[in-house]
Amino acid sequence: MYASDGYDADLFGGVRFDTTADLVIPPSLIDQVIGQEHAVDVIRKAATQRRHVMMIGSPGTGKSMLAKAMSELLPKEEMQDILTYPNPEDNNNPIIRVVPAGRGKEIVAAHKEEARKRASSKNTMLLILVIGILGIALISGQLLMGIVAVAFIFMAFRSFMPKETAMVPKLIVSNKPDSTAPFVDGTGSHAGALLGDVRHDPFQSGGLETPAHDRVEAGAIHRAHKGVLFIDEMNTLELSSQQSLLTALQEGEFPITGQSERSSGAMVRTEPVPCRFLMIAAGNLDAVQHMHPALRSRIRGYGYEVYMSETMNDTPENRAKLVRFVAQEVKNDGKIPHYDPSAVSEILREAKRRSGRKGHLTVKLRDLGGLVRVAGDLAIQEGSPVTSVHHVVSAKQIARSVEDQISDEYIRRTRDYDLTIVSGNLVGRVNGLAVVGNDAGSVLPITAEVTPSQGAGMVIATGLLKEIAQESIKNVSALIKKFSGTDIRKVDIHVQFIGTYNGVEGDSASVTVATAVISALEDIPVRQDVAMTGSLSVRGDVLPIGGVTYKIEAAAKAGIRTIIIPQSNLADVLIEERYSDMVSIIPVTRIEEVLRYALVPEDKEAFEQKLLQIGKHMDIPKMPMP
């Protein structure tokens, strides 16, 4: 009998547990990856065939995890150490030697021992010489001369005898003898960290200088030799670095030189240093489109490109995997207590909510992992031996994105200044809804004003929203014409999105724009206790939009009581319980329903007649009032 038996058998996909401590976590990293079956497949193939991979997708979906897993999967190979040696013929061209892993340390140790021995015999020689000179000086009564001679000898030794340590090679890449292939994350590296560098030497001469080979530092590409080099957000690398990366990929070796032009290191250039790594380049679609075209083509030509999933189907198997995910995160964190079934079920609910799609679970697992950790921290704070549902519920309040917090602050502020109107009726003003960032909504009022046009009618909208407004007005112009019989070419339509800031999603405002324009044209007031979101077809069908849950929550927070959403989004709605009593949701399929609900006409009959005009010639049944 397990604690999870009290829940619906399917909820945890058949997994039975008291706490997540009972679950078995697969030992290899690749088996821990969840919801990325395609990418896992590709990584397995790429590892056996030694191919490069490009991963495209949102942050926190497991890209670097997969890259690390690939390094574990690479066929076993002899790892190598890389050493730099002084070059007696050309100081500025250090020699590179490659030896089996583990040998590097021994070689350096042997050289150091040798140097120490030589230094001590040199010191003995020096001591005998000094005693001798001072002795002779004392006997002959020329002590002052003797001291001067000793000082000269000291200086000569410093300047002309080579320093013993100058001959000791430097280990720049070191591996353990039986280690697996290295995984190196080169994300955001500057050129030196990526390609290797030679440090500046402030002395450069006079016996105080550090020899060139001793100032050489390996780059990420060299440390990834025979392993995996992972670079996220590829486009943030300078173009010249990307070019060098391409050379390194093609040649399998890359000399190290000082990266800073003004440094003495820039004069040094080693022999080519091996760097046969597999490249995993990652980023969102934008990153890929802005990366060096030759580099991209090289990776594509000798490897795979994969698109990372953002959601997975809500099936018992996938739910079982998410249960294991909670166990994995708790184990990896190591500081938080395991989860009981109630807490896991709340995490599953949140995974569903965050997917924003019906029948799906999110695979943006880094963020979900964040929630797992915050809830665990709360359990610790309380001294609880397990994490329970109330910890997860409180954690959701704390672990919110910055956008969500800003959105709250914004709602509070606009309320202070009466910018948010949530009661009464107004002509030409509609409460629309928008998504900010990934997981925050905001109320976005839209106002429209119609004036007779001096010339050809225009749509006048301001700022960033110009195109969106124009597009949506074009889309709804047929409907407006049918509804009001007005030819919109004879009027100027001014549309304003009030108090917007960046990140407003475009198309989901078209229902709102249409309602605002029709209200302004017809002089019919709009209910302000209603908010709406939806995209609109030219025939008046209300089409699905994204982020419906967050939009509804934002409206609820702002004090709006009724929210019109596309019928097809109804199954995506997964609002937090505390909001569910605050709002009623009206799903619609046609613009007529929106207008009927939101507008408050004086002459109801004439209004109904006009509504019928919209659907005229269309084979749609007369909709009942929602």
How far is Cα 92 from Cα 439, in angstroms, rounded to an integer?
55
- Tokens coding 414: 């606009």
Closer CB to ligand ADP, 34 or 531, in the complex: 34
- CA distances in angstroms from 324 to 38, 102, 319, listed in the order given: 19, 38, 9
Smallest distance from ligand ADP to CB 363, Å? 6
How far is Cα 175 from Cα 157, in angstroms, rounded to an integer?
38
Q: How many CA atoms are closer than 13 Å to the CA of 557, on its beta-carbon side? A: 24
How far is Cα 543 from Cα 569, in angstroms, rounded to an integer?
9
Contacts of 390 (CB under 8 A, 6+ apart): none
Smallest distance from ligand ADP to CB 574, Å? 21
3-state helix/strand/coil string of 290-322: CCCHHHHHHHHHCEEEEECCCEEECCHHHHHHH
Smallest distance from ligand ADP to CB 329, Å? 6
Report whether 79 contacts 175 (CB < 8 A): yes
- CA distances in angstroms from 185 to 68, 188, 214, 353, listed in the order given: 9, 9, 25, 32
- CA distances in angstroms from 564 to 187, 430, 478, listed in the order given: 44, 12, 22
E strand intervals along 354-457: 360-362, 425-427, 429-436, 440-452
Closer CB to ligand ADP, 325 or 339, in the complex: 325
Closer CB to ligand ADP, 372 or 495, in the complex: 372
User: How many degrees, rounded to 5, is the angle at CA 210 between CA 207 and CA 211?
Assistant: 100
- Tokens coding 344: 């896991």
Q: Which residues are catalytic?
A: 508, 551
How far is Cα 330 from Cα 372, in angstroms, rounded to an integer?
8
- Tokens coding 453: 């046009």
- By Cβ distance, which residue is nearest to ligand ADP? 62
Smallest distance from ligand ADP to CB 438, Å? 13
Closer CB to ligand ADP, 348 or 504, in the complex: 348
Q: What is the DSSP letter of 380?
A: H
**Phi and psi dihedrals of 572, rounded to 5?**
-80, -15
Closer CB to ligand ADP, 365 or 542, in the complex: 365
How far is Cα 515 from Cα 519, in angstroms, rounded to an integer?
6
Instruction: Look at the block and give the residue holding tokens 């292939």.
Output: 181
Report whether 532 contacts 594 (CB < 8 A): yes
Q: What is the DSSP letter of 434?
A: E
Residue from 242, 286, 237 nearest 57 by CA: 286
The sign one gets for the Cα dihedral 479, 481, 485, 486 is: positive
Contacts of 317 (CB under 8 A, 6+ apart): 13
Closer CB to ligand ADP, 64 or 535, in the complex: 64
How far is Cα 85 from Cα 567, in angstroms, rounded to an integer?
72
Parallel/antiparallel/unpaired status of strands 440-452 and 491-497 = antiparallel
- Tokens coding 295: 């580099």
The sign one gets for the Cα dihedral 289, 291, 292, 294 is: negative
Smallest distance from ligand ADP to CB 310, Å? 10
For ligand ADP, the binding residues (CB under 6 A) are 32-36, 59-65, 232, 325, 329, 363, 365-366, 369
Smallest distance from ligand ADP to CB 233, Å? 9
Closer CB to ligand ADP, 57 or 432, in the complex: 57
Closer CB to ligand ADP, 32 or 257, in the complex: 32
- Tokens coding 232: 């996220």
How far is Cα 600 from Cα 611, in angstroms, rounded to an integer?
13
Chain centroid offset of residue 393 CA: 25
Smallest distance from ligand ADP to CB 617, Å? 50
Closer CB to ligand ADP, 35 or 211, in the complex: 35
Smallest distance from ligand ADP to CB 17, Å? 18
Q: What is the biggest distance separating any 2 CA atoms in the chain, rounded to whole angstroms?
A: 133
Closer CB to ligand ADP, 58 or 165, in the complex: 58
Closer CB to ligand ADP, 64 or 257, in the complex: 64
